[in-house]
Amino acid sequence: MAKEGRDKKGRFTEGNKEGRVFTSSDGLAAEMQLKSAEARKDNRIVATALREALLSKDPESGDPTIVAIVRSVTGRLTKDGRAADLHVIADTLGELQQKIHVDGDIEITCKFGDE
């Protein structure tokens, strides 16, 4: 015999709301969900502000600020660069893995680092 609000196979019948909402006796789940939504909103605000700041013009060069930052970082790397820095740059550019096609049907995959 099927339980009330369910069909013969045990599925919820249309219009039945019982058992579909998961609640915590102390409301902790709802509270955590609200905190999570607030954190996502805050993260979007920070991300928007960062994008605007990075795309604003650098007063010295007139280039976008992100260009000035990249020039500064790469300038430092020419004096004091490490393999880890190269790894971060390659990862950022999507160059950690290279596929080389030889003779049309042989593929060689080269990976940078221990991945």
Domain coverage including residue 63: 28-111
Question: 21 in a domain, yes or no?
Answer: no
CA angle 38, 41, 43 (to 5 degrees): 110
Encode pLDDT of 33-48 as tens digits: 889 999 999 999 999 9
H/E element holding 108?
strand 106-111
Question: 76 in a domain, yes or no?
Answer: yes
- Indicate yes or no: pTM above 0.85: no
Question: 18 in a domain, yes or no?
Answer: no
Question: 8 in a domain, yes or no?
Answer: no
- The CA distance from 57 to 20, in Å, is 52
The size of the chain, in residues, is 115
Q: How confident is the model at residue 25 (pLDDT cuts 50, 70, 90)?
A: low
Question: 19 in a domain, yes or no?
Answer: no
- Taking a C-beta distance cutoff of 8 angstroms, is the pair 112, 96 a contact? yes
Quickly count: other Cβ atoms within 10 Å of residue 85's Cβ: 14
Encode pLDDT of 6-19 as tens digits: 778 877 777 766 65
Residue from 78, 97, 79 nearest 87 by CA:
97
Report, as an integer, the average pLDDT of 97-103: 74
Question: 53 in a domain, yes or no?
Answer: yes
Q: Considering its fold, how many domains does the chain have in total?
A: 1
Report, as an integer, the average pLDDT of 2-29: 68
Q: How confident is the model at residue 87 (pLDDT cuts 50, 70, 90)?
A: confident
pLDDT, mean over the chain: 80
Encode pLDDT of 46-85 as tens digits: 999 999 999 999 888 888 998 988 888 888 888 888 888 8
